[in-house]
Amino acid sequence: MSLRARIGWGIHALIQAYYRVQVNGRVLEHAGRYVGEKAYPPQFVDIVRLTRFVRERKPTVLWELGAGWSTQFLAQALADNEAGHLYSMDAAAEWASHARAMLPPWLGSWVEIHHSPVERRDVGGTCAVKYAWRPEPMPQFIYLDGPAGAKECPGHADLIEIEERLAPGCFIVIDGRGTTAEFLRKNFRREWRYWRDPGPLGRYFSQFNQHYLELQR
């Protein structure tokens, strides 16, 4: 590993340690006992930002595309608000199963975790995924971190289909996936506000990038 890479990983570890103490320790301890061996480690920066948004915006319906560590903390944020329900979908049966295994028992009534395979289709000349199942209740908050393969197929057909049914103020958080953010900005027909949060130390740590879309009208 190069010196630059070692320095980068060292800074990343410091950032992780700083944000780790800000997440719910009880959830972290329980989920950590049951996390799958192949699971990615939690990004505490992302978790802190997500849970802050949920507590501030108080959604009654939250969709998550891509289950995992975030599922546990999103459910806890709803429980802290004493209102709301999380529908989490994952295209891979394995990861949906892992997320269920990690879920603390006191959060079971706040979340449903579904395995929902995807198919690919063309939307405006761009490859887009379409989930086999999606919830009927429309969300006020959407966290988009799946499925895998965003570089080859960045679009989300479901979000284009439901746009007209979303209420003003609907908030979408896109974890990384700048091409997906651009797809939505190009194909949405209503008025959305867009901005990007590069995270700690800005462009030097692209893994902390998040893109935001908020429906204006």
Dump pLDDT digits (tens) for 39-66: 888 999 999 999 999 999 999 999 999 9
- 152-198 pLDDT, tens digit per residue, is 999 999 999 999 999 999 999 999 899 999 999 999 999 999 999 98
pTM, rounded to two decimals: 0.94
* pLDDT (0 to 100) of residue 203: 66
Asked if pLDDT for residue 202 goes beyond 70, the answer is: no
Calpha distance 52→59 (Å, rounded): 12
The CATH-assigned architecture of domain 3-215 is 3-Layer(aba) Sandwich (3.40)
Tokens standing for residue 131: 């989930």
- Measure the CA–CA gap between 202 and 217, rounded to whole angstroms: 30
Exposed/middle/buried for residue 206 (C-beta within 10 Å: 0-12, 13-18, 19+): exposed
Q: How far apart are CA 30 and CA 75, in angstroms?
A: 14
